[in-house]
Chain A
Amino acid sequence: MEIEILSASGSKPLGKIQLKEDATVQDVKDKIYRNLKKSLYPDRQAVKLEAKGKTLKDEESLKSLNVQNGAKLYVKDLGPQISWKNVFLAEYAGPLFVYLWVYQRPWLVYGSQSSSPGTVASVAAICWSGHYAKRLLETLFVHRFSHGTMPLRNLFRNCGYYWLFTLYVAYHINHPLYTPPSDTWFYVGLTGFVLCELGNLSIHILLKNLRPPGTKVRRIPVPDGNPFSSLFNFVSCPNYTYEFGSWLFFTIMTKCAPAGLFAAAGFYQMAVWAIGKHRNYKKEFPDYPKGRKAILPFIL
Chain B
Amino acid sequence: MPEITLNKPKKSSGPSAIGKSYLLAYNGVQTLGWTYLLWQSLVYFLNRGTLDAYWNEIKWTLYIFQGGAVLEILHSLIGLVSSGALVVFMQVYSRVFLVFAVLMVVQASTVSPGLPLCILAWSITEIVRYSYYGLNLINAVPQTLTFLRYSTFLILYPLGVTGELLCMYHSLDEIYEKKLYTISFPNEWNFAFDFYYAMYFYMFLYLPIFPYLFGHMLKQRRKVLGSEKKSKCN
Query: Which residues of A line the B interface, CB within 8 A?
Result: 172-173, 175, 177-179, 254-258
Residue among B185, B187, B190 making CB contact with A254, cutoff 8 Å: B190
Residue among A172, A177, A179, A258 making CB contact with B188, cutoff 8 Å: A179
Judged by a CB distance under 8 angstroms, whether B186 is at the interface is yes
| Interface pairs A-B: 8 shortest CB-CB | A177-B185, A257-B191, A177-B186, A256-B190, A257-B189, A179-B186, A172-B190, A175-B185
* Complexed CA–CA distance, A167 and B155 (Å): 39
Q: In the complex, which residues of chain B have a beta carbon less than 8 angstroms from the beta carbon of A179? A: 186-188, 190
As a 0/1 sequence over residues 185 to 219 of chain B, the CB contacts with chain A under 8 angstroms (1 = contact) are: 11111111000000000000000000000000000
User: A172–B186 contact, CB under 8 A?
Assistant: no
Q: How far is the CB of B103 from chain A (nearest CB, A)?
A: 27
Q: In the complex, which residues of chain A have a beta carbon less than 8 angstroms from the beta carbon of B187? A: 179
Q: In the complex, which residues of chain A have a beta carbon less than 8 angstroms from the beta carbon of B189? A: 255-257
Residue among B186, B188, B190 making CB contact with A173, cutoff 8 Å: B190
Q: In the complex, which residues of chain A have a beta carbon less than 8 angstroms from the beta carbon of B191? A: 172, 256-258
* Complexed CA–CA distance, A177 and B187 (Å): 9
Q: How far is the CB of A208 from chain B (nearest CB, A)?
A: 35
Q: In the complex, which residues of chain B have a beta carbon less than 8 angstroms from the beta carbon of A173? A: 190
* Complexed CA–CA distance, A172 and B186 (Å): 10
Residue of B nearest to A11 (CB): B1
Residue among B185, B190, B192 making CB contact with A255, cutoff 8 Å: B190
**18 more CB-based (< 8 A) A-B contacts, given A179-B187, A179-B188, A257-B189:** A172-B190, A172-B191, A172-B192, A173-B190, A175-B190, A177-B185, A177-B186, A178-B185, A178-B186, A178-B190, A179-B190, A254-B190, A255-B188, A255-B190, A256-B190, A257-B190, A258-B190, A258-B191
Interface residues on B, range: under 10
* Complexed CA–CA distance, A257 and B188 (Å): 9
* Complexed CA–CA distance, A257 and B190 (Å): 6
Q: How far is the CB of B17 from chain A (nearest CB, A)?
A: 34
Q: In the complex, which residues of chain B have a beta carbon less than 8 angstroms from the beta carbon of A254? A: 190
Q: In the complex, which residues of chain B have a beta carbon less than 8 angstroms from the beta carbon of A175? A: 185, 190, 192
* Complexed CA–CA distance, A254 and B191 (Å): 11
Q: How far is the CB of A247 from chain B (nearest CB, A)?
A: 15
* Complexed CA–CA distance, A297 and B137 (Å): 45
* Complexed CA–CA distance, A35 and B199 (Å): 54
Q: How far is the CB of B53 from chain A (nearest CB, A)?
A: 41
As a 0/1 sequence over residues 176 to 187 of chain B, the CB contacts with chain A under 8 angstroms (1 = contact) are: 000000000111
22 A-B residue pairs with Cβ-Cβ distance under 8 Å, sorted by A, are: A172-B190, A172-B191, A172-B192, A173-B190, A175-B185, A175-B190, A175-B192, A177-B185, A177-B186, A178-B185, A179-B187, A179-B188, A179-B190, A254-B190, A255-B188, A255-B189, A255-B190, A256-B189, A256-B190, A257-B190, A257-B191, A258-B191
Q: In the complex, which residues of chain A have a beta carbon less than 8 angstroms from the beta carbon of B186? A: 177-179
* Complexed CA–CA distance, A256 and B192 (Å): 10
Q: In the complex, which residues of chain B have a beta carbon less than 8 angstroms from the beta carbon of A258? A: 190-191
* Complexed CA–CA distance, A172 and B194 (Å): 13
* Complexed CA–CA distance, A179 and B191 (Å): 10
* Complexed CA–CA distance, A258 and B185 (Å): 13
* Complexed CA–CA distance, A175 and B188 (Å): 13
Residue of B nearest to A51 (CB): B1
Q: How far is the CB of B3 from chain A (nearest CB, A)?
A: 14
Residue of A nearest to B188 (CB): A179
Q: How far is the CB of A157 from chain B (nearest CB, A)?
A: 13
Q: How far is the CB of A276 from chain B (nearest CB, A)?
A: 18
Q: In the complex, which residues of chain B have a beta carbon less than 8 angstroms from the beta carbon of A177? A: 185-186
Q: How far is the CB of B184 from chain A (nearest CB, A)?
A: 8
* Complexed CA–CA distance, A179 and B192 (Å): 12
Residue of A nearest to B187 (CB): A179
* Complexed CA–CA distance, A273 and B191 (Å): 29
Residue of B nearest to A172 (CB): B190
As a 0/1 sequence over residues 36 to 70 of chain B, the CB contacts with chain A under 8 angstroms (1 = contact) are: 00000000000000000000000000000000000
Residue of B nearest to A257 (CB): B191
* Complexed CA–CA distance, A175 and B192 (Å): 10
Q: In the complex, which residues of chain B have a beta carbon less than 8 angstroms from the beta carbon of A178? A: 185-186, 190
* Complexed CA–CA distance, A175 and B193 (Å): 13
* Complexed CA–CA distance, A256 and B189 (Å): 5
